Amino acid sequence: MKAKAGYIQVKRRTASLRIIHWVNVFSMIAAITTGLYIAAPYYQTFIADPAVDKYVMAWNRWVHFMVAIIFDVTSIIIFYLTFFSRVDRPWSKMIPNKKNMREFSAVLINLITLNRHKNFNSAHNDSFNIAYFFTFHFLMVWMLLTGLQLYVHGLGSGLSSVGTWWPWMLHLVTDWTIPVSGWMVGGGPTATLMDVRISHHMTMWLLIVWVVFHIYYQVWRTIFWKEGDISIIFGGSKYVKIKDNEENKEA
């Protein structure tokens, strides 16, 4: 879309990043609806139907694991792009140096003063948003590791359809989540698999809370900054007033 007179178009997200975002959105909805069913089956099947036609829990688990694997792959891509993207350098905003800390507080002050103080360049991804996304990625990595730990025990014999390396690798990479979860959940001196499950369930709630604020904040920005922020994730660009942008550059 062409920029309105007096505005300049700022390209923010490439097509691949936008595709990954929407894949993640639908994966997350699927993971939560199926995950809640796996935690406590909240709808019932018809008792008269033969079991072979139903397979309801199995389908729920199938979908849950499928989106988990999709999440794994998108996470690897995002991890790669964070450090090696040609167009964006989000990692540089993650380092807690003086400049980033100042930007972070400037954006936070802008939010809590209801857009009274806008003393930062809003054309590019700011430190506040980057830190918020880092929280998401951190929770997501924990979700994937605990999820794979819970998953690998279904491959109890150490075999899988793709070979023995897969459960072996999952044990190697995720077994440490048991003592860490045990430490977080508390209880007796010996950590147990249930601690991982509790932690996995708890992290789901943290992610839901994250999503709620994320959506709210993006919509709020769009309304108050008047820079079309919401279209970053649809069209890939936002629009900044030419004057504002230049002023900010000077500052």
- Where do contacts with other proteins occur on this chain (CB under 8 A)? 36, 39-41, 44-45, 47, 51-52, 54-58, 60, 111, 114-119, 149, 152-154, 156-158, 167-168, 171, 175-176, 178-180, 182-183, 185-195, 197-198, 201-202, 204-206, 208-209, 212-213, 216, 220, 223-226
* Nearest approach, Cβ of residue 71 and other proteins (Å): 20
Phi-psi category of 48—alpha, beta or left, where left has phi over 0 and alpha has psi -120 to 50? alpha
* Nearest approach, Cβ of residue 55 and other proteins (Å): 6
| Tokens coding 99 | 């400049």
**Cα-Cα-Cα-Cα dihedral sign, residues 15, 222, 129, 66:** negative
> Smaller CB distance to other proteins: residue 80 or 247?
247
> Smaller CB distance to other proteins: residue 78 or 174?
174
Amino acid at 101: M
* Nearest approach, Cβ of residue 126 and other proteins (Å): 16
Which of 24, 133, 29 has its CA nearest to residue 74? 24
Which of 133, 109, 94 has its CA nearest to residue 211? 133
- How far apart CA 100 and CA 121 sit, in angstroms, is 12
> Smaller CB distance to other proteins: residue 60 or 127?
60
> Smaller CB distance to other proteins: residue 5 or 47?
47
> Smaller CB distance to other proteins: residue 46 or 84?
46
- How far apart CA 143 and CA 168 sit, in angstroms, is 19
* Nearest approach, Cβ of residue 172 and other proteins (Å): 9
| Tokens coding 57 | 């829990």
* Nearest approach, Cβ of residue 44 and other proteins (Å): 7
